[in-house]
């Protein structure tokens, strides 16, 4: 007999490490944009595994691909070639304009690989002493030691010090601060095209283009963390394409596996040569199961009609959030984002609004203290966006009564 929500939570509290805070919801089934909890309650999911489930929950085509590949070959290690591996590498390098790919198991692991590649490239080219990587305050790059050291949030460092040396942090969008930090010890700049966990913060106009120009002038690698923004989330294959950039290294995760563990490092030819045999690897990354699924997922995401629909859906969501902002200037400080990665910053903590939305049957995440983040599946329906917007307006008015009346 299946467990109740209360039983699932109690069992988890007894046996799971208490390192994450979970909402008091135990999900047991999903299909498309909808999920159901252990009590049979239905929710419309605008978290999507934190921008991971690009095609929603339990897409039938993905199940078929995994089942077909499982009948052939699961895992062989990196000691051997496999066809899905090289075909996915070809697809991603062509779509990105980069030259080489390395596959791993998560976004954090991809960032670890990018950090190693940048430092090894610099050591090979110039010798020791130029190994520093400049990243942004308010950034998020993962929870492993290298990735968390690159992350510009001191509250995430507490208790784990010392952080790995060789990282500097400057305010996101502050070009002058970046110029000052990018001295002769620096080998790379690591940025998110849109800061995700930091509160859905897009770059100021012209900023990323100016960063790329600075990197070229000072012979510094431009590394972009596209773990959350990449693979259709912003309406283009990669977010950097909105800004006309050609980065040296790009990291991917999340939508690459749509819930199946997978990550990737894409690289230009020159830095890729720094990681020769024996310098970096992984046991399970690039396994046929993950690669076959990734090949199918990415092929569908790169379909021009699919991306056109993502852009149309993005406009609908953006317009609705802007209208809510205009209607509650006392509460909503800004509505912004890129594509189907949108945020609403409140003048109050956002957690109570997220909780009220759950009561109404909508799942959204509260991040950065005062921000509600909306990252639905890329195939969300227009009417589902309208339902969310209606529920959001109600939840805000119920949770934070107007203060501008009278």
3-state secondary structure 244-263: CCCCCEEEECHHHCCCCCCE
Q: What is the DSSP letter of 161?
A: P
Q: Both tokens of residue 282? A: 């992984």
> What is the bridge-based pairing of β-strands 263-267 and 332-337?
unpaired
Domain 61-301 CATH class label: alpha beta
Share of the chain above pLDDT 90, in %: 98
Across the chain, what does the average pLDDT equal?
97
Are 169 and 135 in contact by the 8 Å Cβ rule? The answer is yes
Is it the case that residue 286 has pLDDT exceeding 60? Answer: yes
**CB of 199 closer than 8 Å to CB of 334:** no
pLDDT tens digits, 156-166: 999 999 999 99
Q: How many residues does the chain have?
A: 406
> Average pLDDT of 121-150?
97
Tokens of 278: 């024996």
Task: Please say if the pLDDT value at position 132 is more than 90.
Answer: yes
- What is the structure's pLDDT at 406? 38
- The pLDDT, as a whole number, for residue 405 is 52
- Token pair, residue 59, equals 């897409």
Taking a C-beta distance cutoff of 8 angstroms, is the pair 117, 156 a contact? Answer: no
**Peptide bond before residue 321 is cis, with ω within 30 degrees of 0:** no
- Sequence ranges of the domains in the chain: 61-301, 306-344
> Active-site residues: which are they?
140, 225, 254
- Looking at the predicted structure, is the pLDDT value of residue 99 above 50? yes
**pLDDT of the residue at 403:** 73
pLDDT band at 404; cut points 50, 70, 90:
low
What's the mean pLDDT in 346-353? 98
Q: Beginning with the edge strand found earlier in the chain, give each strand of the sheet holding 371-374 in spatial order.
A: 332-337, 342-346, 371-374, 365-367
pLDDT tens, residue by residue, 136-175: 999 999 999 999 999 999 999 999 999 999 999 999 999 9
- Secondary-structure percent of the chain, ordered helix, strand, coil, rounded to 5: 40, 20, 40
Which pLDDT belongs to residue 1?
78
pLDDT tens by residue, 204-254: 999 999 999 999 999 999 999 999 999 999 999 999 999 999 999 999 999
The predicted structure's pLDDT at residue 402: 87
Contact call for residues 93 and 256 (beta carbons, < 8 A) = no
Mean pLDDT of 380-389: 98
Q: Which residues contact 338 (CB under 8 A, 6 or more apart)?
A: 193, 194, 202, 229, 234, 235, 239, 242, 314
Q: Is the distance from CB of 223 to CB of 249 less than 8 angstroms?
A: yes
What is the separation, in whole angstroms, between the first and last Cα of the chain?
56
């Amino acid at each position: 007999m299946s467990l109740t929500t209360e039983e699932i939570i109690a069992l988890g509290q007894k046996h799971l490490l208490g390192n994450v805070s979970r909402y008091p919801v135990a999900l047991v089934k999903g299909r498309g944009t909808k999920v159901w909890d252990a009590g049979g309650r239905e929710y419309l999911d605008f978290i999507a595994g934190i921008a991971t489930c690009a095609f929603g929950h339990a897409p039938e085509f993905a199940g078929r691909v995994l089942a077909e590949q499982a009948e052939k070959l699961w895992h062989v290690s990196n000691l051997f070639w496999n066809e899905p591996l090289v075909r996915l590498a070809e697809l991603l390098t062509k779509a990105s304009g980069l030259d080489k790919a390395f596959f791993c198991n998560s976004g954090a692991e991809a960032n670890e690989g990018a950090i190693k590649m940048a430092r090894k490239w610099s050591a090979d080219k110039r010798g020791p002493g130029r190994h520093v990587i400049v990243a942004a305050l308010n950034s998020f790059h993962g929870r492993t030691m290298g990735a968390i050291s690159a992350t510009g949030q001191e509250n995430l460092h507490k208790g784990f010090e010392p952080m790995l040396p060789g990282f500097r942090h400057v305010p996101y969008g502050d070009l002058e601060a970046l110029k000052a930090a990018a001295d002769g010890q620096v080998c790379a700049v690591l940025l998110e095209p849109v800061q995700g966990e930091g509160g859905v913060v897009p770059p100021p106009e012209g900023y990323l283009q100016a960063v790329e120009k600075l990197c070229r002038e000072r012979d510094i690698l431009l590394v972009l963390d596209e773990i959350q923004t990449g693979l259709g989330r912003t309406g283009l294959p990669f977010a950097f394409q909105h800004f006309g950039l050609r980065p040296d290294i790009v990291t991917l995760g999340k939508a690459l596996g749509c819930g199946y563990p997978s990550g990737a490092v894409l690289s230009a030819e020159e830095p890729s040569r720094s990681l020769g045999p024996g310098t970096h690897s992984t046991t399970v990354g690039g396994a046929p199961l993950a690669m076959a699924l990734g090949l199918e997922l990415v092929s569908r995401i790169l379909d021009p009609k699919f991306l056109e629909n993502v852009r149309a859906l993005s406009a609908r969501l953006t317009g609705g959030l802007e209208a809510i902002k205009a209607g509650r200037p006392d509460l909503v400080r800004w509505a912004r984002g890129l594509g189907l990665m949108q945020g609403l910053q409140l003048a109050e903590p956002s957690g109570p609004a997220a909780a009220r939305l759950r009561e109404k049957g909508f799942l959204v995440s509260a991040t950065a203290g005062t921000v509600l983040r909306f990252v639905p599946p890329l195939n969300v329906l227009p009417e589902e966006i309208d339902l969310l917007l209606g529920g959001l307006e109600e939840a805000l008015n119920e949770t934070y009564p107007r203060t501008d009346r009278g």
